[in-house]
Structure formats: structure tokens, C-alpha cells
Amino acid sequence: MREPYVLHLPKWYPHRGDPLDGIFVKRHITCAHREIPAMVIYLRSEPLPGALLWKSEWEQGDEDTPIVTLRVYYRKHLSGFSFPDRLLKLLLYYLLLFTYGVKVIIKRGRPCMVVVHVLLRSALLAATLRLICRIPFVVVEHNTRFLSKMSGWHARVGLPLIKMILRSASAVITVSQDLGLAMRQNGLVHRNYLRIFNSVDTTIFHPADPAPASTEKFIVLHVSEFKNDHKNITGLIDAFSIASGWAENMELHLVGYGRDEDLVSQKIAESTAASKIIMIGTLTGPTLAQAYCNAKLFVLFSNRENMPCVIAESLCCGTPVLSTRVGGVGEVIHPGNGMTVGINAVGELAKVMADCANGKIRFDRNAIADEAAQRFSDRAIGEEWVNLYRRLGSW
């Protein structure tokens, strides 16, 4: 008898060009894999050499993450013209998705469940398998596009398609209750909305002694993909510039990468606190965890969010969080583990940072970490996923 497994169809997933892209999706899959084996099919358009239309790569995984992954890279430019390329790529996408979906089922047998990570395209395969093979599927949504009222093409075409897909889904999983509410406000009604937070590997992200050099400073840490319209890093720099004049020995450490790195660098150069702002670059795993532990405060000044992984990682390390009141942040931040401020409230953010640096606001880091581990650890989130699989899957 073939081993039961769950088939995952992610829109975002780590790939050869960016090992951090969609890492939160991989974390969701990984945290339940020891009890429920996983198979991932991920398609991505990329420039390919010569006349090659697509290329497939199998990854068998390792001892830490034994997830079998099939990545299919298909040609990004087909005709050389924008509109025909969009249509041709969509047709090629579905040809490859269904072809490799059938190949996987022939090779591994019928999955017990299909999980669609982020709507919409891969959901068509899941809905087809539900219709023909009676294989249940669930949708996991992370996308911030639902946080505002959808309009234009998305409202006229996208929403009706999503509504049709969701009718046959067994559940809709969101990473925050706020996102589930926003989806319902966009007309995406479903009988079974559930919340499962993003997970954190607490074998890596846990309290640790700060590096000796960091103990003498009040380090404010920010971690993100540098998209300023989303993360408002320039607003954070403005607030820090003000706060550093009210509190001595502050430093702002910016960890990450992205399209707006030059914009952020220019903003730092223009800041009155430029000597106290350090761009660290990309950190992952233990080095990122140490950055959280070195920091006295983690700050996210975003204009919009769902429930960011970086907030959960910071809390698991015992580092309090200062964030804007957006998305699902209010579902996890309370006076015992952090504070929230208004969107783009530069003066309010500056005052809270300065008050923390001057010792007017204090936190129990061990209590923060203990509570966060119970809520976000792989074990806690993995149990939620396994229970969901067993309750809704065709075992």
C-alpha cells in the first residue's frame, strides 16, 4: 500500500533565484511533515536558455525537511509581446500544472488532501481533483490584496472565479482573523474559515545571551523585504532620527534586502542620525535569531500586514515588538509583549522608542518568549495542521 501524503500547490515558494521567497509557506508545510508526508509542486516563470520551454527539478529534501519538491521552471518570454505572452504563459502554466499533477499521482498514488497556498491559479487543479477524484482540498491565504476592497479586473473576473473555487473547498485557512474578515467583506463567504498562525522554528529562534558589543547599546531592529510602500522604512528612519535625539546610545539595525535598498540608503544618508543607522543585509537562521536577541526592541512600521513571520520570530526570541495597528498584529501584540501605534504616526513611534530606550517602558523577555513558543512553535502549529488533515482528509 502506498504511503498517504498531502499534495501542496503554492503560489510562492523558495526557489533557486531566492531561497527566502515564500519561506513562510515552506514553514507551514514543514511543521507537519513528520506525521503527514508532503509533496510540493511549484511552478515559476524564468528566462530559460535556448528554445527550452520548461525545465523540471526534483528535490528529495533532507533529514531536517524531508519534503519531496517538484519545481517546474517555464519560459518567461514566449512571443516577445506583452499581451500574447500573458495568454501563452497562462496556457503553458496550466498544461504543466495538470501534466505534472497527473504524473505525481501516478507515481505516488492518490493524495489524502490537496492544499492550495495562495489563490488563484493552482486552485483549478485542486478543484478538478475534488470533482473527479473526490480528493478534498483547503485554501491557505496570506495575500494582503484582500485587505482592501478589490476593484477593476480582480473584482470583475477574479472574485467570481474565487467564489466558484471556494464552494468546493473544505476550509479556508488564513494567517490572521483580520484577513479572514477582509475576505468575507470582499464577498468570499465560506462556512469554514479557520486561523492558523505562521510557524517559527524555536530550536533556532529562542532567547539567548546578546553579543557583548550589543549590551552597551539600545538596538532597535527592523527585518523585512525592502518594499517601502509596504514596510514604510523611510518613515521608520524619520521616527528613529527624532527618537535618537531624546535617548542616548540608540542604534537602528536594518536587516533585509529588496527593490528599495537604494532608496533606504539615500534616506539614511540624509538623516540626522545617519551614524546610528546600520544596514546589515540579509540574515537567516541562527544569525538572524542572534540579531533578535541582541536587540532591545523590534519595530515594524508597515502600512499594511497580515500576521508577519518576523513578529512571531522576535517574540519567540523574547524581544518586544513595536508595530503599527495593521492586519492581524493586534491579535498577538498586547501590553505584556509590545505596543502598537497608528499608521505613519512618526511622532508617536518616535516617542515610544525613546521611552523604551530611557527605561520608562519595560518588558519581561522570558515571559514573552514562553508565551510565543506556546503559540507559534513548529510543534504547536504542526499539531493544528495534523488535526486539520485528519479531520478533513480522506484517510
Q: What is the pLDDT of residues 296-310, one digit of tens each?
A: 999 999 999 989 999
Global pTM reads 0.90
Contact 285, 204 (CB under 8 A): yes
Spatial CA neighbour of 55 closest among 70, 69, 36, 38: 70
Instruction: Categorise residue 318: left if φ over 0, alpha if ψ from -120 to 50, beta otherwise.
Output: left
- Taking the alpha carbons of 17, 21, 22, 27 in that order, is the dihedral positive or negative? positive
3-state secondary structure of 162: helix
Residues 6-199+377-392, CATH architecture = 3-Layer(aba) Sandwich (3.40)
Least confident of 121-125, 144-148, 314-318, 342-346: 144-148
More confident residue, 128 or 153: 128
Interaxial angle between packed helices 309-316 and 23-30, expressed in degrees from 0 to 180 and rounded to the nearest 10 = 60
Amino acid in the structure at residue 96: L
Q: Which residues pair with 38 in a beta bridge?
A: 6
Same fold yes or no, 6-199+377-392 and 212-376: yes
- Percentage of the chain beyond pLDDT 90 is 79
| C-alpha 381, offset from chain centre | 15
Q: In what order do the strands lie in the sheet with 54-59?
A: 54-59, 68-75, 38-46, 6-10, 113-117, 137-141, 171-174, 193-195
Predicted confidence (pLDDT) at residue 1 exceeds the cutoff of 70: no
Three cell numbers written together for 317: 526570541
Predicted confidence (pLDDT) at residue 4 exceeds the cutoff of 90: no
More confident residue, 36 or 240: 240
Q: Where are the alpha helices (DSSP H) in the chain?
A: 23-30, 82-108, 123-133, 152-153, 159-166, 177-185, 228-231, 233-243, 261-270, 285-294, 309-316, 346-357, 365-376, 378-392
Predicted confidence (pLDDT) at residue 230 exceeds the cutoff of 90: yes
Residue boundaries of the structural domains of the chain: 6-199+377-392, 212-376
Per residue in 5-35, pLDDT (tens digit) is 999 999 999 999 888 899 899 989 998 877 8
Domain 212-376 -> CATH class: alpha beta
d(CA 70, CA 238): 44
Q: How confident is the model at residue 65 (pLDDT cuts 50, 70, 90)?
A: low
Per residue in 119-148, pLDDT (tens digit) is 989 999 999 999 999 999 999 999 888 888
Spatial CA neighbour of 333 closest among 204, 178, 215: 178
